[in-house]
Amino acid sequence: MQTACRNCGSRKERAEFCNLGYQPLANSYLSRDQLEEPEAFYPLVPTICPDCALIQLPNLAAREDIFEDYAYFSSQSDGWVKHVHDYANKMVGRLGLNENSRILEVASNDGAMLREFRALGVPAVGIEPAKNIARIAQLDGLATIDSFMGVDFAQELLSSGYQGAHLIAANNVMAHVPDLDDFLTGIRMLLAPSGVFTVEFPDAENLVRDNQFDTIYHEHFSYFTKHSAFDALARRGLGVVDSEDIDIHGGSIRLYARPDVRLDLPGEHVQGPAFGQPTAEQRAFYDKPAEYRRELWDKLNRWKREGKKIVGYGAPAKGNTMLNYCGIDAGILDYVVDSTPEKIGKFLPGSRIPIVNPAALALDPDPPDVIVILAWNWQSEISKKLKSHKDRGAIILSRLEEL
């Protein structure tokens, strides 16, 4: 039997949103020793709720297993550092924040945003469950509590005398939360009565429109649209007062919500018919991944038959969903390059393609004829690095497009 909907608790049957088969956990990069061992595969079959339209996967792994030792460092991404720099400046201006303001960031990672607030003279406290990453921020003098956000945490902080936050930020974390109700209720409890909650998430409408099925993997439990996020917040007493489209991660949304604004219905910032129900486009998504697979498979096999050498650029989690769903392994991509020290020397889960340092591509005595950008959300940054390859005639493929 299906579990209840993570957002609205509905027990109605949820249709399959798509079916990506059996896949390993997308962030379980393999060491050379692990290549001789079996690998765990789990169904990757998101469903969509008929009552609130939340696209979701079941809670597969305990949050402690996935997030207590995490290998993603936000300060390593130039694009992300610029994003949080702009955010901190905007919030200080918009909300009139100063040295007396109380700011919390949920999932503060290695402190990229906390650092920007510090530079503006505004104190911000991070909450980060991955101890190895929280530690990096703490060593830099950035106040960071290693904990998960939720009702227990909120109660603890309030009973220690915490006065309520003027701003709580949560970026790219809501998708990872198994217990949405506990998470959002904890946030509402910690807001001052006129405090503001900002939440950013990749827009699942882009997923549907642009066939970004590779952004689906087991660590992402929920896929929000403006509508379903609005619904999730409103149910926990957080009224959405503004929204912005932001150009990061293939198209994201930032919502602003307040605990003193009650909105049970979509307002000026969230409009559209059939609020709360799956749209026709969402229902028709089911066949899209297979269409992509056919087209990519045709291209890569044609190039292979012509004797071309193909490699990949970037080893993000989304690349693993794409490669494993499309059945692309080391017989097609000789290697992928990635600059993350923790990934270099390992192998992609499932496809078992080796991950090498980007320098290995520059020094390859037999340079590739085709380079597939797997981290397509950083396409402009990466294609600049591939200019010399393009100039010598290599094909650069980003999703199904030859650049």
For the bound state, the minimum distance from the C-beta of residue 384 to ligand TMP, rounded and expressed in Å, comes to: 9
228 lies in the binding site for Zn ion (CB under 5 A): no
The residue (of 250 and 278) whose beta carbon lies closer to Zn ion is 278
The residue (of 237 and 314) whose beta carbon lies closer to ligand TMP is 314
The helix, strand and coil proportions of the chain, stated in percent and rounded to the nearest 5, come to 35, 20, 45
The residue (of 80 and 285) whose beta carbon lies closer to ligand TMP is 80
Piece of the chain touching Zn ion by CB under 5 A; list 1-9, 27-35, 86-94, 253-261: 1-9
The residue (of 10 and 279) whose beta carbon lies closer to Zn ion is 10
**Can you tell me the distance from the alpha carbon of 77 to that of 109, in angstroms, rounded to the nearest whole number?**
12
Of 230, 300, 293, 292, residue with least CA distance to 265: 230
Q: Is 164 left (phi over 0), alpha (psi -120 to 50) or beta?
A: left
**Can you tell me the distance from the alpha carbon of 127 to that of 67, in angstroms, rounded to the nearest whole number?**
13
Choose the one of Zn ion, ligand TMP, none that binds residue 375, judging by a C-beta under 5 to 8 angstroms depending on kind: ligand TMP
The residue (of 50 and 367) whose beta carbon lies closer to ligand TMP is 367
* Three-class SS state of 22: strand
- Residue in 20, 44, 52, 97 binding Zn ion, rule: CB under 5 A: 52
The residue (of 153 and 313) whose beta carbon lies closer to ligand TMP is 313
Q: Which two tokens stand for residue 175?
A: 């998708």
- Residue in 34, 45, 51, 72 binding Zn ion, rule: CB under 5 A: 51
**Can you tell me the distance from the alpha carbon of 73 to that of 68, in angstroms, rounded to the nearest whole number?**
13
Q: 37 exposed, middle or buried (CB, 10 Å; 0-12, 13-18, 19+)?
A: exposed
Phi, psi at residue 313, to the nearest 5°? -115, 120
Report CA torsion sign: 282, 213, 17, 328: positive
Choose the one of Zn ion, ligand TMP, none that binds residue 316, judging by a C-beta under 5 to 8 angstroms depending on kind: ligand TMP
Site string for Zn ion, 4-23 (x = CB under 5 A): -x-xx-x-------------
Choose the one of Zn ion, ligand TMP, none that binds residue 8, judging by a C-beta under 5 to 8 angstroms depending on kind: Zn ion
Strands 336-337 and 355-356: parallel
Where would I find the beta strands (DSSP E) of 203-321? 222-223, 239-246, 252-258, 310-313
Report CA torsion sign: 133, 139, 141, 145: positive
The residue (of 266 and 367) whose beta carbon lies closer to ligand TMP is 367
Give the distance, in angstroms, between the CA of residue 374 and the centroid of all CA atoms in the same chain. Answer: 15
For the bound state, the minimum distance from the C-beta of residue 215 to ligand TMP, rounded and expressed in Å, comes to: 9
Choose the one of ligand TMP, Zn ion, none that binds residue 382, judging by a C-beta under 5 to 8 angstroms depending on kind: ligand TMP
The residue (of 52 and 375) whose beta carbon lies closer to ligand TMP is 375
- Binding site residues, ligand TMP, CB under 6 A: 77, 314-316, 338-340, 343, 375, 377-378, 381-382, 385
Piece of the chain touching Zn ion by CB under 5 A; list 47-55, 128-136, 263-271, 313-321: 47-55
Piece of the chain touching Zn ion by CB under 5 A; list 41-49, 144-152, 177-185, 208-216: 41-49
Q: Which two tokens stand for residue 9?
A: 């608790």
The residue (of 11 and 302) whose beta carbon lies closer to Zn ion is 11
180-190 helix and 151-159 helix, angle to the nearest 10 degrees: 20
Site string for Zn ion, 233-272 (x = CB under 5 A): ----------------------------------------
Choose the one of Zn ion, ligand TMP, none that binds residue 339, judging by a C-beta under 5 to 8 angstroms depending on kind: ligand TMP
CB atoms within 10 A of CB 31: 10
For the bound state, the minimum distance from the C-beta of residue 193 to ligand TMP, rounded and expressed in Å, comes to: 36
List contacts with Zn ion (CB under 5 A): 5, 7-8, 10, 49, 51-52
